[in-house]
Chains A and B, each alone.
Chain A
C-alpha cells in the first residue's frame, strides 16, 4: 500500500501504460501527461508477456522515456477466457455435497438447440472422476441439517496429494447462505496440500442457483494456477525490464483490481478486453455529456453492443463463456460474477456469408479472421465476407486499405459474392452486396434493440459511440434502423480497449444472496450483511487506491413467486424499519420501467429481495466536458467514388475525404466517406458529419439538425 502512495505522489504518476492482449494483437497505449502513443504487436501465443515487453520497448522509445519512468501499468487479457475455451487449465478436483456430484454435468437438463437430434454438449470442465462428494448439508436458510464429514475430507486431501492435483474447487449446496462448511473444508485441505490453490463457491460467487455457482467456482479453480503463474512471471519480467511500477488488472466489470486479487479470483478477468472497449466508449460519452449512449464495437469476428448511462456501462451478475455453438444461448458455461452487460454476435468484417435453405442470406458466425481472411485479401480465403461486400458497395477503397499497407482485390471480392450469393439467389453482384450489408446491419440492430428492451430501455433515445475496424462503415445504417439520431466516432478507435483501461477506476462489486421479504424485513440482519459487503468491496478497492470511494447499493427484487429479479438501485445507508416502504416504491417504479405495469390486483402478494450488491468505485475527477459542435456547413469539392447508399440501395456519387484533412468545427453533408488508415466512416444521405474539437466525428440525423 505504501509503495502505491509513494508512486501516486511522485512525478511519474502521469505516465501510465495500458495493454490489452487479444487473440490476434496485443495493443499498447502509453499516456505521457495527456499525450497518447500507441502500437500493436502480434500476440505471442506461447509467451504472451513477451508481446507486452516488445510493445513497451516500442512505445517508450517513441516517447523518449525509460521503462522505469512508467508510473502504473494497467493490463487486460483474453488469457482467462481462452484457457476456458481451449480447455488449457489445471488438473483440478471438485469437492461438493453428497448427492450433487453431477450438477455441472447435468446443467439445466435442457437442449440449447431444440431441433438438433445430433446435439453435442460441452463436456464438463471437471470430469466426473475428479468430482468428489462429502456429507454435510445446510438448508435454504443456512441452518445445518447434517454436520460436515471432516474425516472424509482428510481422506480426500491425502488422495489429492498423491494424485498430484494442481487446484481444488469447493462448492456446497446453500453455501451462499453460509460459507462455514466450505471454509472448514479449505482449512482441512490446505493443511495437507501446500501450495495448491483452493477456491470456494461462497467467496468466488456467493449467489443462489447451484449450477451457476458451481460452474463459476470450477472455472476459477481450473484457470487459477495458469493465470497466477502468468501474472507472477509478468511482474518479474517487467521488473527486470525496469518497470517496477504497480501493475493492476482490468476485471470483467470494467474496473481495476490488484494483481493479488486477480490471482485469487482469476474468473474476474474473463472478458476484460471487451470491458475496456465499453469504458473507452463510456469515457467519450462522459466527455460529451451524453447521458444515454450505446457502444458499438465491430471488429473482424464479432460485434459487441453495450448500454452506457451517465457515463457508466451497465452491469450484469451472470454471463456465459465458451459457448460451443459460438453465439447460441445456453451452449456455454455460466459464470456468476459482476460483468459489463454486453451482447456479442457473430457479425464482423470477416464474417462468412452464405445462403440457407429458405434462400435467405445468412452472416457468420464463422469468420475468415485475418488468416485466411476475406476473399479480397487474397491470402487463401475464397469465401465471401462482409468486408468483400463493403468493397463492392464502394465503402472500402481496395487500393487504400490500412493506409495502403494491404492491397485488396475488388475482382476477388466480386467473384466470391457472385459465386456464393449472386448465382444462388439470381441477384446481380451489386444487389447481392447490398443484401449482405442490409442483413448484417439488421442482425446487429436486432441484437441492440433486444438488448435495450431486455433492460427496459428505448434505444432510439441513445447516442451511438462506434469504434473498432468495421463499426464506422456500418454505424449510420444501424442508427437509421434503430432510430438513433446521433453517432460519435472518437479518434484512436483502433486501440479503444487499451485506451479504456487507462480511464478505468478502481472498483469492486460484492454480491450476496439473502432472500428477504418486505413484510418480514429483518432490518438488523440486512444491515449486518450490507456492512460485510461494504467491507469486502472497499477492501479490494483500498488495495489499489487511497482516493475517495463511492458506494452503490443495488437490490435484486421480484414479486414472490417470480423467478426473474430486476435490479433496483437503493441509497446505501443504515436502514430503518420505515425504509421498507421506500424500497417498495423504488421496486414498483423499476418494475413499471421493465414491464409496463405493476401487479396491483393482488392484495397479499409479497415483494422480496433475493440478492444484494455493493459496488465500491474510486471517485475520479470528472472529465473535462467537451461541448458537442453542430458545426457550420462546409462544402467539399472532391467527388471520387460511386457508393451504394445503404438506405435506399441506389448508387450515388459520394464525396471521399481523408479524416486528417477535415477541419474542426466543420459540418459536411452525407453521403460522404471519411477515410483513415484503420477504417472509414460512411455517412449516409440521412446524416451530417460535424468535426469536434478532439477530432471525433459526430453524425447527426439531418431532420434533427434542421429542427434545432
Chain B
C-alpha cells in the first residue's frame, strides 16, 4: 500500500486547495464592501500549527500573497498556545503585522480536531472605511489614517468581543458594512475549518505533518527547477521614477540570482514620504514575489515552500516604511514593483520581458452629499479602474485590464445604485497604447458627475500622469494619465479634491508601453487598429 501514499497525498492536496477556495468564495458572497464583493480584494489560506502557509485560494489578489504568509507568524508570536481555544478568532489591521494598511482586516482562527490544534485558517479583506481621514494619501502618520487594532481576540470560545465591536461601530463612517465584514471574515475561517474536519475524517488523518511536508517538498523542488531553467546567474539593477504625491519618487532594485535563490533588494529607493504612499516591507515583498512567480514558476501553487526561494530585503525607505509612517495608499507604489523588477530582468532576459504598464490601479473613493449644505445622507462610493498593460514579447498589451493587481471593476449600474452619481462615460481611450512592434494596451476614459442637487469630494490616488509607462526594446511609452474637470481645470494626482454640482470629473487612465520598434509592426495590425479605432492617426500612435 505504501506506493499508493503519494497518490493519496496528491489527492488531499487538491482537496486542500478546494477548501481554501471555498473559504474565499464564502467571503466574496457575504462581504459588504464593494472592494471585496465586486472587486475581489481579498485572500484566504490554511497554515500548519507553526504558521507555515500550506495552500492559498486562487480567488483574491496578489497583494496579500506573502503578506498573509508572514502575518500568521505574527499572531503566533503574540498569542501563546495555552491561550488558544476552540472557537477562537484573532484579528489585526496593523499595517506592519497584516497586509500593509489599516483598511485590510486580517483574521486568523485555530482549527482543532479532536482537541488537537492541527491548523490555522487566515483571511484578509479590504473594508470600506476604518475611520481617520478616510481612504486617501493625506494622513501625516498612521495615527491619522484610522483605528489600529493590535493583534487580539475577535472571538474567544465562539463568543465575540463586544467591546471591540463597539469601538469599531463608533469609530468608522459605515459601521454596518464594516462590522458586517468582520463577521464575514470570521465566518469564512469557520467554513474552512469545517471542511478541514471533514477532510481529516474521510482520510483518517490526525495531523497535517505528512501532507504539509509533501506539499512543501514538491513545491520547493518545482520552484528550484524553474529558477535553474529560467533565470541565468547574475545580478541586475534598475530604477523607476513615478509621480509620487507632490514630487517624483524614484524606486531602485537589485535582483540577484544564485541559481538556487533569487534576492531582491530595494536599497537606493527614495526615503519615506510625508504622505500616505509609503509601503511597509511586507507589501513590497508580496508584489516582488508575485512578479518573480509570474515569470519563473507560474504553475506552482502558492505556499510557504514555493515562496521560500525568493528573498526580499530593503533598508528603511519608501518601500520599507517604518512606524508611524502613513501607508493608506501603499498600493500605488506597491503595484509599480513588478515594472521595477522586470526592468532589471529585461537585462538578464532580453526580448522576453513585457513593457511597463499603467500598473497602479486608478481607484477612486467618492464621498457624495447634498449640495449647498443641505441636510441628507452622505454616500461613500468606491470604484476600481484599470489602465492598459504593457505589450508582451509576442502579444499586444491588454486594454483596461488590471495588472499586477487581481481585482475586478464594479458594474456602472451597481455603482449608480450605491450613491448619487452618474457615470457618463467608461470606455477605451484611443491612441493611449504605446506604439511598437507589439502595441501597449489602451487605457480608459471615465466621466463622472454628481447627480443634480449633489456634490462630491473624491480622494485621488492616480499615478503615471507625469511618468507614463515606458516601452521596451524601442517600443514607445503609453499615454500619460490625465485628471481634470470638464471645464479644463487640471486636478492633482493625489489627495482629496472637490467636484461641484454641475461639473464632471474626467479621468484618463494611462496606456501600456509598446514592445519593439514601431517600424516592425505589421501592416495588418496597423490596419486593424485603425479600423477598430484603437488608433485614430495613421502614422504614429504616440508622441
Q: Footprint of B on A, CB under 8 Å?
A: 98-103, 105-106, 108-111, 114-121, 127-129, 137, 139-140, 145, 173-174, 176, 208-211, 356-361, 425, 427-428, 431, 434-435, 438-439, 442-443, 446, 449-450, 453-454, 481, 483, 515, 559, 561-564, 594-597, 599, 601-602, 604-605, 648-649
| Among A111, A211, A605, residue most surrounded by chain B Cβ atoms (within 10 Å) | A111
| A481 to B218 Cα, complex, angstroms | 25
Residues in B neighbouring A596, C-beta threshold 8 A: 187, 190-191
Instruction: Determine if A109 and B408 form an interchain contact, defined as CB atoms under 8 angstroms apart.
Output: yes
In the complex, chain B residues 135-191 whose Cβ is within 8 Å of any chain A Cβ? 165, 176-177, 179-180, 183, 187, 190-191
| A207 to B422 Cα, complex, angstroms | 19
Interface string of B17-57 (1 = CB under 8 A from A): 01001100110111111100110100000000000000000
Q: Footprint of A on B, CB under 8 Å?
A: 1, 3-4, 6-8, 10-11, 13-15, 18, 21-22, 25-26, 28-34, 37-38, 40, 58, 62, 165, 176-177, 179-180, 183, 187, 190-191, 202, 218-219, 221-222, 225-226, 293-295, 297-301, 354, 384-386, 392, 394-395, 398-403, 406-409, 411-414, 416-417, 422-428, 444, 447, 451, 531-534
| Among A137, A360, A449, A597, residue most surrounded by chain B Cβ atoms (within 10 Å) | A360
Instruction: Determine if A356 and B14 form an interchain contact, defined as CB atoms under 8 angstroms apart.
Output: no
Residues in A neighbouring B25, C-beta threshold 8 A: 454
> Which A-chain residue is minimally distant from B394 (CB atoms)?
A118
Instruction: Determine if A438 and B190 form an interchain contact, defined as CB atoms under 8 angstroms apart.
Output: no
> Which B-chain residue is minimally distant from A106 (CB atoms)?
B400
| Among A109, A442, A449, residue most surrounded by chain B Cβ atoms (within 10 Å) | A109
Instruction: Determine if A561 and B177 form an interchain contact, defined as CB atoms under 8 angstroms apart.
Output: yes
Instruction: Determine if A121 and B427 form an interchain contact, defined as CB atoms under 8 angstroms apart.
Output: no
Instruction: Determine if A99 and B424 form an interchain contact, defined as CB atoms under 8 angstroms apart.
Output: yes
| A108 to B398 Cα, complex, angstroms | 13
Residues in B neighbouring A119, C-beta threshold 8 A: 398
* The 3 A-B residue pairs with the shortest CB-CB distance in the complex, in nearest-first order: A563-B37, A99-B425, A115-B298
Whole-angstrom distance between the Cβ of A489 and the nearest chain B Cβ:
24
Whole-angstrom distance between the Cβ of B404 and the nearest chain A Cβ:
9
| Among A103, A119, A562, residue most surrounded by chain B Cβ atoms (within 10 Å) | A562
Residues in A neighbouring B293, C-beta threshold 8 A: 115
Instruction: Determine if B176 and A434 form an interchain contact, defined as CB atoms under 8 angstroms apart.
Output: no
> Which A-chain residue is minimally distant from B424 (CB atoms)?
A99
Residues in A neighbouring B183, C-beta threshold 8 A: 599, 601
| A601 to B180 Cα, complex, angstroms | 9
Instruction: Determine if B3 and A562 form an interchain contact, defined as CB atoms under 8 angstroms apart.
Output: no
Among A109, A140, A174, which residue has its beta carbon within 8 angstroms of that of B386? A109
Residues in B neighbouring A601, C-beta threshold 8 A: 165, 179, 183
Among A127, A173, A361, A595, which residue has its beta carbon within 8 angstroms of that of B10? A361
Instruction: Determine if A110 and B218 form an interchain contact, defined as CB atoms under 8 angstroms apart.
Output: no
**Assuming A108-B408, A110-B401, is B30 touching A446 (CB within 8 A)?**
no
Instruction: Determine if A434 and B14 form an interchain contact, defined as CB atoms under 8 angstroms apart.
Output: no
Residues in B neighbouring A116, C-beta threshold 8 A: 294, 298
Residues in B neighbouring A431, C-beta threshold 8 A: 3-4, 7
> Which A-chain residue is minimally distant from B352 (CB atoms)?
A117
> Which A-chain residue is minimally distant from B174 (CB atoms)?
A561
Whole-angstrom distance between the Cβ of B124 and the nearest chain A Cβ:
16
Among A99, A118, A427, which residue has its beta carbon within 8 angstroms of that of B392? A118
Instruction: Determine if B30 and A564 form an interchain contact, defined as CB atoms under 8 angstroms apart.
Output: yes
Among B30, B414, B426, B427, which residue has its beta carbon within 8 angstroms of that of A595? B30
Residues in A neighbouring B22, C-beta threshold 8 A: 450, 453
Whole-angstrom distance between the Cβ of B284 and the nearest chain A Cβ:
19
Instruction: Determine if A449 and B32 form an interchain contact, defined as CB atoms under 8 angstroms apart.
Output: no
Residues in A neighbouring B8, C-beta threshold 8 A: 438
Whole-angstrom distance between the Cβ of B219 and the nearest chain A Cβ:
6
Among A101, A435, A438, A563, which residue has its beta carbon within 8 angstroms of that of B31? A563
Whole-angstrom distance between the Cβ of A114 and the nearest chain B Cβ:
5
Instruction: Determine if A139 and B398 form an interchain contact, defined as CB atoms under 8 angstroms apart.
Output: no
**Assuming A145-B422, A210-B412, is B299 touching A357 (CB within 8 A)?**
yes
> Which A-chain residue is minimally distant from B387 (CB atoms)?
A109
**Assuming A208-B414, A439-B10, A450-B18, is B226 touching A128 (CB within 8 A)?**
no
Task: Apart from A360-B218, A442-B14, A599-B180, list 5 A-B contacts with CB within 8 A.
Answer: A114-B406, A140-B413, A176-B413, A438-B11, A454-B25
Among B187, B221, B294, B416, which residue has its beta carbon within 8 angstroms of that of A597? B187
Instruction: Determine if B400 and A109 form an interchain contact, defined as CB atoms under 8 angstroms apart.
Output: yes
| A119 to B413 Cα, complex, angstroms | 28
Residues in B neighbouring A515, C-beta threshold 8 A: 417
| Among A139, A356, A442, A481, residue most surrounded by chain B Cβ atoms (within 10 Å) | A442
| A446 to B14 Cα, complex, angstroms | 8
